[in-house]
């Protein structure tokens, strides 16, 4: 496994990040344990989750599964850089908190309570990377950073990151952190793949300038870039309108065939070639899928291939950063 630094930090993480969103809803606990064991065997030390994963309000099902996995011992917890998130509504109806007002978003109160709850579910004393799952405009950065500073001082959080932030949110957050002599954001988790390139305008330049590692979610476009024309049943399950995108998907899959590579591997390799990208999040449902993802770290795409990919999946505007992507 290849490793890289997470943004401007000295923390070393694997070039692929194990996404755990399927643990619980789609992957049984037994199979989830097998996938986590195998990830460690392969050297994948960077794992991503969220308090809301499991999709039963307030229950934190996925975090609980990971916590029970860590509790088996064998230095499982110590080997993993665990990243989780705060923002979503965690008001547990069974505890009378279903409609209570401070069980979500980024108030200092909710950040504190959500962190304590995640620590308990994950059965750990600290979170390696605690990410804000979305921007919350009603909480000033003075409030947000005060809450995170306390968690860092208490040893409960080591690094902080963002997810789904705009470029100007990253700038504003880190300028506010700088004024407090606080490390601030070290990573941003964004939607980014060949078919969704909006972040190239301002988010990626902001990450580059402020030293944030980019962690792409949905690197295969929800399966669209994974050879979907050969697996039409998956498209139906995901509710994709494959026909509307068939012309470019045919070109995409033909190009991958010419390269002698699987579409999913090429899609991941395209992300990995970007120096701002730390690790795409992969969400395997089986160990076979996990093994298959490793090929992406070995693929080098030629300039000719990159040009063809731009023709199939054009960047926004003229390509590159804003404002040049749309202005003179």
Contact predicate 142/106, CB 8 Å = no
Strand order in the sheet with 281-282: 213-217, 185-191, 157-163, 127-132, 81-86, 46-48, 17-19, 281-282
Contact predicate 24/61, CB 8 Å = yes
**DSSP for 186-238, written as a single string:** EEEEEE-BTTB-GGGTTHHHHHHHHTPEEEEESTTGGGTTTTGGG-HHHHHHH
Contact predicate 135/101, CB 8 Å = no
Assign 83 to helix, strand or coil.
strand
- Is 69 a catalytic site residue? no
Query: Which listed residue (3, 53, 69, 136) is catalytic?
Result: 53
Query: Which residues are designated catalytic?
Result: 53
């Amino acid at each position: 496994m290849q490793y890289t630094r997470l943004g401007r930090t000295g923390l070393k993480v694997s070039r692929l990040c194990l996404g755990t969103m399927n643990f619980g809803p789609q992957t049984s606990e037994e199979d989830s344990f097998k996938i986590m064991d195998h990830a460690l065997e392969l050297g994948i030390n960077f794992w991503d989750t969220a308090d809301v994963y499991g999709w039963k309000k307030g229950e934190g099902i996925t975090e609980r599964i990971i916590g029970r996995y860590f509790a088996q011992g064998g230095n499982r917890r110590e080997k993993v850089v665990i990243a989780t998130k705060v923002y979503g509504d965690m008001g547990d109806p069974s505890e009378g908190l279903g409609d209570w007002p401070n069980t979500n978003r980024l108030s200092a109160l909710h950040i504190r309570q959500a962190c304590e709850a995640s620590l308990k579910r994950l059965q750990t004393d600290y979170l390696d990377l605690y990410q804000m799952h979305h921007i919350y405009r009603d909480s000033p950065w003075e409030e947000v950073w005060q809450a995170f500073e306390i968690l860092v001082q208490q040893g409960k959080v080591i690094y902080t990151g963002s997810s789904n932030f705009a470029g100007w949110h990253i700038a504003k957050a880190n300028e506010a952190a700088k004024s407090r002599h606080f490390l601030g954001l070290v990573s941003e988790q964004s939607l980014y793949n060949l078919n969704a390139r909006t972040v190239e305008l301002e988010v990626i330049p902001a990450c580059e300038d402020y030293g944030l590692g980019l962690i792409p979610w949905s690197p295969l476009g929800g399966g669209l870039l994974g050879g979907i024309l050969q697996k039409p049943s998956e498209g139906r399950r995901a509710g994709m309108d494959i026909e509307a995108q068939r012309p470019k998907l045919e070109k995409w899959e033909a190009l991958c065939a010419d390269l002698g590579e699987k579409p999913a591997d090429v899609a991941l390799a395209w992300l990995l070639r970007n120096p701002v990208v730390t690790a795409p999040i992969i969400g395997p449902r089986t160990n076979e899928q996990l093994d298959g993802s490793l090929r992406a770290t070995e693929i080098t795409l030629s300039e000719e291939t990159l040009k063809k990919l731009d023709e199939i999946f054009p960047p926004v505007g003229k390509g590159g950063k804003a404002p040049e992507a749309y202005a003179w």
